[in-house]
């Protein structure tokens, strides 16, 4: 931290500005960011000094940096003021009417509000100016939470009495994780609904929308077929499965999973069930395909309204903005949930089961890694973009998906990165990302095919050509209808196994360590959503290359 003390006198402003310039230059802040920051800092300093109570007051100026973030902290005794009082930051004209002036003031207040906070505590004005926000901030916090959760979980598991460990795990760790996931579940349906609706309503040319939608769906199906192929080939290279594991099958452990229906393995039924019988039950059941359908209808209807009825479209856009902001607030506390989730997983993990079926985990991860490599190749070959830039920008989201184990929960972070880091137009990502979180489950496809072949070997089931075709069709159908929540793929596997003559009780073999694999394939699912979105946006000329390559 660097700081300087100034006298509360207008002549000291230049001294303070020069200090800020030097420190920001040392911290390698870009010239563009420095220029904008200095203009704002000069106005804030002037206001602090103008509102000071007497000439003996001093102004404290500090430049703080932490984990790549840089901000300026200034304070001085004086009368209270707020952002709207920084008059010279607003470009007013003498001929400007009052209504226009209010609009501009509100706009500038909104823009500055994200970068400046001003408060008055005990007659001391305090101003904080955010100069730079590290793109790795969430990544660092999540990594720290992940590591700390792992460490705390191990300590409780091996060094704390069982009754204390169980009480803390169930009453604290499980409760925090459940509350966080519940908050995400409540926001996902309206977020998807209004995101789809606003995306379609924003299109002036519905033919262009149909073209983009066709490309998105086609690419998702194409990558799903590739994923199944990769999973099959990986298993052929590493044919895991020991018939002796049959003895470890637990009927009771699998009962909850085997009774969870609601997902169809019929492609025809999946398509037919997209159209709901009413507008309420899809939200109550969190049926994402039906929610997407209703959102698309609303968007289509809004896009047909004339300019005189544009208020309804604006209401849809406003609702989308509100739920996006709520989601951002929820995501901001994610590291705490990651810590609790990881600690609970380590405490609850059955070490014996982990050892017996340990080979299943790395084989699935090999498939996931190969699929991510395919995405990067497609970005290079089809979109003709630097795949390493994509990987660098999207890696924090991949880690988020890995820790949360939920495509739906990761969707807000995916949307934000597509917008701010990858430079993708909202016209594409606001449609493709919610859709992908529902129908694009490439990592899950890999896990399902490997798991099915693994179980077939354990139970001595021969996989013939017709059986393999049945597997592929069922996996494609399940990938479309699978819930994008933690454990969703496990439900799909339990439905898939009986289709090829394997008892559903076999699911108990992998239940104990499924979380490890679930984290990996969720990361792949989410990466696939962003990769397809990037490829489609590039084909339509809707990628800001300057932002993508920055």
Looking at the chain, the whole-number percentage of residues with pLDDT higher than 90 is 26
Confidence of residue 113 (pLDDT cuts 50, 70, 90): very low
Better-scored residue on pLDDT, 204 or 201? 201
pLDDT tens, 362-376?
A: 999 999 999 999 999
The count of other CB atoms within 10 Å of the CB of residue 267 is: 15
CA distance 459 to 101: 75
pLDDT tens, 38-62?
A: 888 888 898 899 888 787 889 999 9
Confidence of residue 208 (pLDDT cuts 50, 70, 90): low
Mean pLDDT of all residues in 383-394: 94
Q: What is the predicted pLDDT for the residue at 260?
A: 44
CA distance 517 to 507: 14
Q: What is the predicted pLDDT for the residue at 426?
A: 85
Q: What is the predicted pLDDT for the residue at 270?
A: 64
Mean pLDDT of all residues in 494-517: 76
Better-scored residue on pLDDT, 488 or 198? 198
Mean pLDDT of all residues in 170-187: 80
Q: What is the predicted pLDDT for the residue at 191?
A: 76
CA distance 352 to 516: 15
CA distance 482 to 256: 17
Torsions phi, psi for 459 (to 5 deg): -95, 5
Q: What is the predicted pLDDT for the residue at 109?
A: 47
Find out whether 52 and 73 touch, Cβ atoms under 8 Å.
no
Residue 487 φ/ψ region, left for φ over 0, alpha for ψ in the -120 to 50 degree band, beta for the rest: left
| pTM > 0.75 | no
First to last CA, the chain: 28
DSSP character at residue 420: H
The count of other CB atoms within 10 Å of the CB of residue 94 is: 4
Show the CA angle centred on residue 524, arms to residues 241 and 434, nearest 5°. 130
* Cα 209 to the center of its chain, rounded Å: 24
Q: What is the predicted pLDDT for the residue at 248?
A: 59
Which of the residue ranges 219-228, 255-264, 425-434, 525-534 would you say has the lowest mean pLDDT? 255-264
Q: What is the predicted pLDDT for the residue at 489?
A: 75
Better-scored residue on pLDDT, 505 or 23? 23
Instruction: Give me the residue label for tokens 């909850």.
Output: 256
Please, which residues bridge with residue 61 across strands?
Answer: 4, 74
Instruction: Give me the residue label for tokens 């899950």.
Output: 444
Confidence of residue 20 (pLDDT cuts 50, 70, 90): very high
Confidence of residue 203 (pLDDT cuts 50, 70, 90): low
Better-scored residue on pLDDT, 271 or 486? 271
- Tokens representing residue 146 in the block: 């992940």
Strand order in the sheet with 124-132: 2-7, 58-66, 69-77, 124-132, 116-121
Task: Identify the helix (H) or strand (E) that includes residue 64.
Answer: strand 58-66
- Tokens representing residue 421 in the block: 């880091």
Task: Identify the helix (H) or strand (E) that includes residue 304.
Answer: none
CA distance 377 to 545: 18
């Amino acid at each position: 931290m660097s700081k300087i003390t100034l006298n509360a006198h207008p002549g000291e402003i230049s001294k303070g500005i020069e200090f800020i310039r030097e420190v920001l230059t040392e911290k390698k802040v870009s010239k563009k960011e420095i220029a904008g920051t200095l203009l704002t800092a000069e106005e804030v300093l002037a206001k602090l000094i103008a509102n000071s109570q007497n000439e003996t007051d001093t102004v404290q100026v500090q430049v703080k940096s932490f984990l790549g973030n840089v901000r300026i902290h200034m304070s001085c005794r004086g009368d209270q003021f707020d952002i709207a009082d920084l008059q010279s930051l607003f470009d007013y004209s003498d001929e400007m009417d009052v209504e226009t002036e209010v609009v501009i003031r509100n706009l500038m207040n909104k823009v500055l509000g994200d970068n400046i906070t001003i408060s008055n505590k005990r007659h001391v004005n305090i101003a904080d100016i955010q100069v730079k926000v590290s793109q790795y901030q969430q990544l660092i916090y999540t990594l720290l939470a992940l590591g700390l959760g792992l460490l705390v979980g191990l300590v409780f598991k091996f060094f704390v009495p069982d009754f204390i460990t169980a009480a803390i795990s169930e009453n604290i760790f499980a409760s925090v994780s459940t509350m966080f996931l519940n908050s995400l579940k409540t926001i996902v349906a309206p977020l998807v609904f209004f995101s789809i609706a606003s995306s379609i309503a924003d299109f002036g040319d519905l033919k262009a929308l149909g073209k983009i939608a066709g490309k998105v769906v086609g690419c998702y199906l194409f990558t799903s077929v590739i994923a199944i192929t990769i999973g099959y080939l990986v298993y052929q290279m590493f044919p895991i499965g020991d018939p002796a594991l049959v003895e470890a099958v637990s009927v009771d452990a699998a009962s909850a999973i085997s009774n969870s229906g609601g997902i169809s393995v019929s492609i025809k039924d999946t398509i037919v069930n997209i159209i709901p019988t009413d507008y309420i039950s899809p939200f109550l059941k969190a049926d994402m395909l039906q929610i997407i359908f209703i959102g698309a209808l609303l968007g289509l209807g809004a896009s047909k309204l004339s300019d005189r009825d544009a208020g309804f479209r604006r209401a849809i856009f406003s609702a989308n903005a509100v739920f996006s902001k709520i989601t951002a607030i929820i995501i901001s506390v994610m590291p705490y949930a990651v810590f609790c989730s990881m600690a609970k997983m380590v405490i609850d993990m059955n070490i014996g089961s982990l050892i017996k079926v340990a080979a299943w985990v790395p084989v699935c991860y090999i498939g996931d890694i190969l699929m991510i490599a395919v995405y990067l190749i497609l970005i290079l070959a089809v979109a003709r973009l630097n795949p390493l830039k994509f990987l660098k920008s999207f890696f924090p989201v991949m880690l988020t998906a890995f820790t949360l184990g939920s495509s739906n929960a990761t969707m807000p972070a995916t949307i934000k990165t597509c917008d701010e880091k990858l430079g993708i137009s909202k016209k594409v990502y606001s449609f493709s990302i919610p859709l992908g979180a529902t129908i694009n489950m490439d990592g899950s496809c890999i896990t399902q095919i490997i798991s099915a072949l693994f179980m077939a070997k354990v139970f001595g089931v021969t996989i013939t050509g017709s059986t393999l075709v049945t597997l592929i069709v069922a996996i494609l159908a399940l990938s479309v209808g699978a819930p994008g929540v933690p454990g969703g793929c496990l439900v799909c596997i339990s439905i898939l196994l009986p289709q090829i003559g394997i008892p559903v009780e076999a699911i108990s073999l992998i239940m104990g360590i499924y979380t490890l694999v679930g984290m990996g394939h969720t990361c792949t699912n989410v990466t696939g959503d962003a990769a397809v979105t990037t490829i489609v946006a590039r084909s339509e000329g809707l990628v800001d290359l300057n932002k993508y390559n920055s």
